[in-house]
Amino acid sequence: MSLVDNVSDQSEANVQKYGYKQEFRRDLKRFASFAVGFSFISITTGIFSTYGGVLNWGGPLGIWTWPFVAIGQLFVALVFAALASRIPIAGYSYQWMSRLANPKIGWLIGWLSFTYLIVVVVSVDYGIAQTIFPSLFHYTETPVNAWIVTAAIVLVQMLLILFSTTWSTRINNTAVGTEVIGIVGLTLLLLIVGLVRGGLHPDHLFSMGAVPAAGYFNLGTLTSVGPFIFSFLLGSYTIVGFEAAANLAEETENAHKVVPFSMWTAVVLSGIVGMFFLIALNLASGDLKALAGSATPVADIVTQTLGTVVGDIFLILVTFSIFACGLVIFITATRLVWAMSRDERFPAYRLFQRVDSHTSTPLAATILCGIVIEIVLAVFATQTNTLTNLFSASSLLPAIVYLATVILYISTRHKLPKSQGFSLRAFEWPVMILALVWLVFELSIFRDASFQTPWLYSLVMFALGLIYFVYMLVRRPQVLKTLPLEGTSVEEEPGIASSQAD
């Protein structure tokens, strides 16, 4: 038997010991797994969508919240890497929480994750429609055309996923190159051209812009946060989704080793490259007041510094990267629906648990996600400050999921099997505590009264989920009482050695 066969057999055994059978082709290798996490984070998406907001919240100085977020999220990614190594199956937080706590808690976290993935697809695709296309195609953005363009982008993504997971993966892999080339290329060109033309503004690196200096670094009150603290939303929206690699664990070769590495390296690379890009933007920024009032501030800096032709070339690369970001998040949502349906814990689960043998895609789950995404888009598109509300909701929900996961990992990690490929070892407690402190701080930002719409979306979607949750408790209680292996706990599952955390 070849080494490849041995790895394949071991991967299939890892799925079987959790009570499942291997239904997906394991086509994702190390780079593809990294690409999933890196494309989900997508620093181009986050910065193009939120840089204008930062100029209004905390001025150019607000970009210096980025490294704090990157370090905080790295601690979270390391905790998630430890989980992914021990439970390398699709469904990530839903599966982990079901085993760390119980299937009821797992379901609630799974539904929150579904709620998050839906709205983040909308926010990413809406970012293309509002912050890039108007500058690229020279038209005036309005709420109506932004809605129409976003709806069309979602439809194209859905068709790609339905057609072929392989092609979706190829697009995603290519997007890693365009992301790196686009951001690194833009960073270098903005600095070089700006220096040659004398258009760099070193004073903008630490300028507060039009934001008053009084109370700038204040933590805020019970219902508000200070300007600098508000600016943390820049990184909080961007540096999330690294765990998407874990949701495709059943499609990844040697997942228990590959997925953990993919998650934390995606955070590190995104943090470093993103910081340099933000510095270049601040240096190349011209009229801060005009940029703060623009719907396309990053695109404006690019075209004003590099010219229309060169600027448009880079904007095309950026558009492709952001499109791929939305695509991989869309795929992640379909896999979560499929994973919950496989356990008979999602409405119409018999339909959504099916995987097409030709495309290796859960077709019904993909169509469902597409429909729900379009509905959520329609709701947000009719509001004012649509993009701000979207990326705020897309920052709030993962913070809740991350915090719940880290807390349960700290308190019940002794239930988990031994690490198969990644372990925090002596650094486990420092990493866990720092991850916990960071997430509590991050969630405290959302006490600001301006986040009413994101909280409302989260509560409404959670309430809808609770309706089905109560239905299962009343009509199908056994489904929420047992894990797939006929009611056995993790400690009792055959072939899994239970131990205290490394």
CA torsion, points 154, 160, 165, 171, in degrees to nearest 10?
-90
Residue 233, pLDDT score: 94
Instruction: Report d(CA 321, CA 39) in Å as an integer.
Output: 7
pLDDT digits (tens, 9 = 90+) for 186-244: 999 999 999 999 999 999 999 999 899 999 999 999 999 999 999 999 999 999 989 88
Residue 174, pLDDT score: 84
Residue 468 has pLDDT above 70, yes or no: yes
Residue 94, pLDDT score: 87
Q: Place 91 in a pLDDT band, splitting at 50, 70 and 90.
A: confident
Residue 272, pLDDT score: 96
Average predicted confidence (pLDDT) for the chain: 88
Distances in whole angstroms, Cα of residue 409 to Cα of each of 64, 66, 72, 340, 455: 30, 26, 17, 21, 25
Give Cβ neighbours of residue 378 (< 8 Å, ≥ 6 apart). 147
Give Cβ neighbours of residue 16 (< 8 Å, ≥ 6 apart). 22
Higher pLDDT, 8 or 91: 91
Long-range CB pairs of 211-219 (<8 Å, 24+ gap) are 211/56, 211/57, 211/58, 211/59, 216/58, 216/61
Write the DSSP symbol of residue 419: P
Residue 500, pLDDT score: 34
Residue 113 has pLDDT above 90, yes or no: yes
Residue 90, pLDDT score: 78
**Exposed, middle or buried by CB within 10 Å (0-12, 13-18, 19+), for 1?**
exposed
Residue 80 has pLDDT above 90, yes or no: yes
What number is the average pLDDT over the span 91-114? 89
Residue 495 has pLDDT above 60, yes or no: no
Instruction: Report d(CA 190, CA 272) in Å as an integer.
Output: 17
- Region class of 17: left (phi > 0), else alpha (psi between -120 and 50), else beta: alpha
Q: Place 486 in a pLDDT band, splitting at 50, 70 and 90.
A: very low
- Range with the poorest average pLDDT among 232-241, 256-265, 407-416: 407-416
What number is the average pLDDT over the span 120-149? 93
Residues constituting the chain: 502
Residue 501, pLDDT score: 36
**Percentage of the chain exceeding pLDDT 90:** 61
What number is the average pLDDT over the span 254-277? 93
Residue 78, pLDDT score: 96
Residue 30, pLDDT score: 85
Set out the domains of the chain in order of their start, with CATH numbers: 36-492 (1.20.1740.10)
Residue 485, pLDDT score: 53
What number is the average pLDDT over the span 305-332? 90
Do 225 and 447 touch, CB atoms closer than 8 A? Answer: yes
Residue 276 has pLDDT above 50, yes or no: yes
- Range with the poorest average pLDDT among 115-124, 154-163, 487-496: 487-496
For residue 213, how many other CB atoms are within 10 A of its CB? Answer: 10
pLDDT digits (tens, 9 = 90+) for 348-407: 999 999 988 777 788 999 999 999 999 999 999 998 889 999 999 999 999 999 999 999
Do 258 and 30 touch, CB atoms closer than 8 A? Answer: yes
Residue 85 has pLDDT above 50, yes or no: yes
What number is the average pLDDT over the span 258-270? 94
**Percentage of the chain exceeding pLDDT 70:** 92
- Range with the poorest average pLDDT among 87-101, 170-184, 477-491: 477-491
Q: Place 270 in a pLDDT band, splitting at 50, 70 and 90.
A: very high
- Range with the poorest average pLDDT among 30-44, 65-79, 164-178, 431-445: 164-178
Sign for the CA dihedral angle at 410, 416, 419, 422 comes to: negative
Residue 484, pLDDT score: 64
Q: Place 12 in a pLDDT band, splitting at 50, 70 and 90.
A: low
- Range with the poorest average pLDDT among 323-327, 329-333, 365-369, 479-483: 479-483
pTM for the model stands at 0.87
pLDDT digits (tens, 9 = 90+) for 29-60: 888 888 888 888 989 889 998 999 999 999 99
What number is the average pLDDT over the span 270-275? 96
Can you give 320-371 as a three-state secondary structure string? HHHHHHHHHHHHHHHHHHHHHHHCCCCCCHHHHCCCECCCCECHHHHHHHHH
Q: Place 277 in a pLDDT band, splitting at 50, 70 and 90.
A: very high
Residue 155, pLDDT score: 97
Residue 168, pLDDT score: 79
Give Cβ neighbours of residue 173 (< 8 Å, ≥ 6 apart). 31, 32, 35
